Amino acid sequence: MTTEDFLEGQILLIDKPLTWSSFQAVNKLKYTLIRKYNLPKKFKIGHAGTLDPLATGLLIVCTGKFTKKITEIQAQAKEYTGTITVGATTPSYDLETEIDATFPIEHISEDLILETTKQFLGEIDQKPPVFSAIKKDGKRLYEHAREGSEVEIATRKTTIYEFEITRIALPEIDFRVKCSKGTYIRSLAYDFGIALNSGAHLTALRRTKIGDYSVENGISPEVFETNS
């Protein structure tokens, strides 16, 4: 690769590590490219769809003129694998916050789990988590949540194309989901718990695909730094 290649535009497939923010991953790439290819400090680079720090997997990073493709890439279907833990909820719907309530799980059978997934296929109404980056009244929802202020969050339509259960070892349920842009898997986990007449939160998440791009072809930011 040359300096000109990155300015003209590249699509880089990154396997984001656990606890890294998407911003951190892009920054790591940016400064690696500036250092190794003598790129200008203001060269264009951005990612096509945020991944939470507690999620791993595919982060698509576009450079140079290919940053114009970000909107188009973001609009494509996404695939995730992960773990839903039933019997407890958290305010953030994942492990970012502590458990705030517990629920019985004795009644949850494999048949009930498999039957319940059918409720979530197709177009559904979903309420984003209060701990999310969506803006309301000029502030991000997680800022309202951390202040303890109550915010009315509108539901939004999203589409679940596939929802497959891959392992059941209660309280853990592993899954694979293919969904439209704007789907919150944390909200899916929370709503799934309610549909099971219990409670649930997301305890692991990995993005495996965006459109035809797969994490199998991705590399970590550290490997990118070493090999580029």
**Cα–Cα distance list, 14 to 57, 141, 178, 196, 221 (Å):** 7, 27, 19, 35, 7
From the candidates 5, 15, 52, 111, give the one annotated as an active-site residue. 52
Burial class of 180 by CB neighbour count within 10 A (0 to 12, 13 to 18, 19+): middle
d(CA 57, CA 223): 14
Q: Can you point out the beta strands (E) in 87-214?
A: 88-89, 101-102, 122-126, 135-136, 139-140, 156-169, 172-179, 200-210, 213-214
Whether 52 sits among the annotated catalytic residues: the reply is yes
d(CA 213, CA 196): 33
User: For the chain, how many residues are written?
Assistant: 228
Active site residues: 52
